[in-house]
């Protein structure tokens, strides 16, 4: 065997050894950042007092592309393997985990600085929303249609609900207290967010223009059976993948507060005044395509969904 053949065979043997060593270590427990054995329950330990672990960073639009890929998986094995996928969401500033059906967030849905809910406005601007209607039961999943997420109902310009969620779902008839409740203000100014803000600190009502931009810049998806029925809590509308609005109906001021349109129409106040002092700005949801911002009588009682006040 000449020298060249010897060196070639030696190189091959060394390469095989290194490759085998890599395979062995790739399947072993590993510690990075310290000369110590990993704990028995750890497959990977990263130890540092000066740096952190940087996750993949995606905007909401980029996450939607990834979501489409995950939802397109046909192999049950791959679907199971995808569970636990983790990203950092640049728009919500939250860590998101894929649970096999949707993304869940570690952020607090009631905290305006960390809410995982929101929608796009013009030019890719992200507007954070509360995940729940005001007065809803926050122990419920805000992304799944249910009676518990419908919330209370308000007159335009008044910071206190005229009907709580429990009262709203107890009867679809008129309310005895309706006649004694204050009338909505007749000012042509915007909803008074200083003295009559129904939202918690750090939140406010969206404007007409913000809701228009939400409609224009996010994919709409209707869910549930759209039917006018007081017991129909199955209906809602998605705007993108991080804002779900249940279709809650409204209480009519001309009939002493009778409930109308639950399960067929949803209404959400804006803070914007209108051309007449009798009406207030409203987001109206009638079906997957019938979504608009229009005027509604201020003394009707409808839902409120707050946005971050920044």
- 163 and 32 inside one domain: no
pLDDT score at 19 = 43
pLDDT of residue 101: 80
Q: What is the predicted pLDDT for the residue at 105?
A: 75
The answer on 256 and 179 residing in a single domain is: yes
Residue 223 lies inside a defined structural domain of this protein? yes
- Structural domain including 80 reads 57-106
Q: Which residues of the chain have pLDDT under 50?
A: 3-4, 6-7, 9-26
Instruction: Determine, yes or no, domain membership for 220.
Output: yes
Q: Are residues 230 and 177 in the same domain?
A: yes
Confirm whether 120 is domain-assigned.
no
130 within 8 A of 115, measured Cβ to Cβ: yes
pLDDT digits 0-9 by tens, 257-293: 999 999 999 999 999 988 777 899 999 998 767 899 9
pTM, 2 dp: 0.74
> Is the distance from CB of 109 to CB of 80 less than 8 angstroms?
no
- Count the residues in the chain: 310
Closest among 133, 139, 109 to 301, alpha carbons compared = 133
Show Cβ contacts of residue 128 under 8 Å, excluding neighbours closer than 6 positions. 92, 112, 115, 117, 118, 307, 308
* Helices within 100-207 (DSSP H only): 165-170
**The pLDDT of residue 109:** 64
Q: Examine the domain organization and report whether 287 and 203 are in the same domain.
A: yes
- Over the chain, what is the mean pLDDT? 86
Is the domain of 20 the same as that of 92? no
Q: Say whether both 148 and 256 belong to one domain.
A: yes
Inside any domain, residue 135: yes
Q: Cβ distance 292 to 215 under 8 Å?
A: yes
């Amino acid at each position: 065997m000449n020298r060249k053949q010897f060196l070639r065979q030696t190189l091959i043997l060394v390469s095989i050894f290194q490759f085998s060593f890599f395979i062995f270590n790739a399947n072993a427990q590993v510690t990075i950042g310290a000369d110590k054995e990993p704990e028995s329950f750890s497959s990977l330990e990263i130890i540092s007092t000066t740096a952190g672990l940087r996750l993949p960073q995606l905007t909401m639009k980029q996450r939607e592309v990834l979501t489409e890929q995950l939802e397109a998986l046909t192999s049950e094995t791959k679907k199971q393997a995808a569970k636990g996928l983790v990203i950092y969401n640049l728009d919500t500033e939250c860590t998101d985990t894929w649970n096999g059906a949707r993304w869940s967030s570690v952020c607090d849905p009631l905290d305006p600085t960390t809410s995982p809910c929101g929608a796009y406005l013009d030019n890719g601007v992200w507007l954070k929303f509360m995940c729940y209607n005001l007065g809803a039961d926050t122990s419920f999943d805000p992304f799944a249609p249910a009676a518990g997420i419908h919330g209370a109902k308000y007159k335009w310009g008044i910071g206190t609900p005229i009907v709580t969620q429990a009262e709203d779902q107890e009867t679809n008839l008129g309310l005895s207290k309706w006649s004694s409740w204050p009338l909505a203000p007749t000012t042509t100014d915007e909803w008074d967010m200083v003295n009559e803000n129904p939202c918690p600190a750090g939140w406010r009502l969206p404007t007409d223009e913000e809701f228009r931009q939400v409609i224009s810049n996010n994919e709409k998806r209707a869910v549930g059976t759209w039917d006018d029925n007081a017991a129909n809590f199955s209906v809602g509308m998605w705007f993108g993948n991080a804002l779900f609005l249940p279709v809650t109906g409204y209480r009519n001021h001309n009939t002493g507060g009778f409930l109308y349109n639950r399960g067929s129409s949803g209404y959400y106040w804006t803070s914007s005044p209108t051309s007449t002092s009798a009406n207030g700005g409203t987001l109206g949801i009638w079906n997957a395509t019938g979504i608009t911002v229009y005027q509604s009588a201020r003394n009707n009682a409808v839902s409120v969904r707050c946005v971050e006040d920044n």
